[in-house]
Structures are given as C-alpha cells and as structure tokens.
Amino acid sequence: MPPRYPDMPPAQTIHSNGVPFSVHVAGTGLPVILLHGFPELAYSWRHQIAPLVQAGCQVIVPDLRGYGHTGTHGALHDYRMANLALDVTGILDALGAARAVVVGHDFGGALAWTLARDHADRVLGIASLNTPYTRHTDTDLLETLRAHKGPGNYMVFFQQPGAAEELLGRDVYQTFSGMMRRPALSLQAFRQGPAHWQALPATILGQEPALWGEPFLDAQELAVYVDTYRVTGFTGGLNWYRNLRQNWLDGAGTDDRVRVPALMVSADRDFVLPPETTRGMEQYVPDLARHTIADCGHWTQHERADEVSSTLLGWLRQRQWLAPA
C-alpha cells in the first residue's frame, strides 16, 4: 500500500460505483468536493482543506479512480468521463449530500465540468482551476492534436500502452522533482522557445529543465508523490487520457450549456492550459466568474495556495452559499 498522507484529515473508505474510494472528509456545512488532476492525489488539496472547513464547509477529497489509495479498478472503458462522474455522485450519495460545490484542477477540472453539464441536479456550483470548459466539437480532440501538434504531443503519446508508463516510471523521483516546479519562463518567452516545446511533448513533464524553476514541494511533500507512485504506477491516471476519444463519442448530442454558477481560475504562466483557452466560455457557461492568478504555472493550488483558497471562499460568499467573513 502507498504511505498515508501527512497533514490531511483521516481517510475513510466509501464504496461508489463498484469501487472502494479513499476519501478524506472534514468539517460540516456546505459540501465541497475537491477533484485532483494528473499525476496527482487527494494530497494535492491539503492547503485548501483547513480554510474551507473553517469557513463552514464539509470538505470531501477523494483519491479518484486509478490513483493513490483508491487504486486502479475496472477495465479501460470504466475510466471514461461518463462513468467517472458516477463515481463522484456515488460518493455524494454515500455522504448524504444532495448537492455540492464541485472544484476541480487539471483532469479533475474536466470531470467537474462533466458533472456540471450532465448532473446539474447534484451540482450547486463549479470552480475549475486551469481547465476550460469546451463544447462538443466536430473533430475528436486526439485527431486535432495529431494534426496540429504531432505524435509527440503528451496526450497523443499517452495513448500508447506501456510507453508513457515507462517514460514516467523509469525514475519516479526525477519525474516528480522535475515536474513539480514553478515555471522559469513567462508564457511569451515559452512561445518564443524551441519549436518542439509548442507541441507540448511528453518530455515537458519534468524533462525540459529550461522550462522549470524553483520546486514548490519540500522534501516530505515530494516523498508523498514519489513513494505513492512507486507503489501504484501511472496506468490508472493514464487511463483517463486513453478514453479521450470515447469521451468525444459519448458527448455527441449532449446539451453543451452549463446551467449552474461557475468560477474559472486561470494561471498566467500555465504552458499547458493558458488563459486564452478559456476565451468564449460565456457562450456556453452564462453564469461565469473569472479570476487570473499572476506569476503562476499549472500547479495552481500548490504554487499559489493562499490565493486559491481566498478566491474560492470569496466566490462562495459572493454566491451567498457561505456566511460573510
């Protein structure tokens, strides 16, 4: 088993959608569920839990399917977004939460948008860190990436069984110590860099030292990720990417509009999901608030933990879901 996460509320096992989920639950009040991205863990939200609890929230933080103490369960098709959304609604059911505020980062943001679109009756509001809402397109995202970014693009590369696991897993310490860093460059400087950077190759994840500056994890925090992924490997998280085409197929004919209040938090140095990827979202997300965090890369809730917490709390209070400070 992976090591237990320090500085987190105790985890409990919650059975949902046929899977025993490891879920950290703290506080009482407004249900807020925090959904992590790749390659992360429930532990990635450790800085946000106490501020939310103190403000009057019941904070729910799962290791999502394929990750950490939840582990890898089911077949590849069980990692499609439609099924992952049922994982989350089942966790809410088990906790007696009729509706919740859903907060997601990276792929957790994509899952949060899916919940807001397809399960609006369970979602009071949605906040996404870095990940834009995208309507259903005429072309599969993978086809678009292959055409415009090439086969080396990380999402395309991740489709290859075994290859991505080998790249990320050959030296797990190097993967996380190289990746979990603040960006060394502005977005403009990144775009003026070598051509292969613009394709967002898989090596951008920790293996392009010119891109990355100071680490934001201390030795103990880094060890949580390294020790966990040495046990679990990366396949569970990669399975989310390996359902991109299925997600596109599943999305055909759905109503593209998000009909719950939303908050979009962007980071001005995110090379992977830059702020301009959120342009035009208001057409499909009419009740949208925005916030951009300066001098921040992709790992937003680590790099600017206090600003993320205060932004979330400000929005929750503005919506009158929490009492004023």
Please identify every residue annotated as catalytic: 106, 241, 298
CA distance 264 to 268: 13
Query: Radius of gyration (Cα) for the chain, nearest Å?
Result: 18
What lies within 8 Å, CB to CB, of 50 at 6+ separation is none
Helix (H, G, I), strand (E, B) or coil at 178: helix
Which letter does DSSP use for residue 202 in this model?
A: G
Strands (DSSP E) along the chain, which ranges? Answer: 11-16, 19-26, 30-35, 57-62, 100-105, 123-129, 181-183, 212-215, 262-267, 288-293
Number of Cβ within a 10 Å radius of residue 245 = 14
- Which residue's entry shows tokens 């834009």? 132
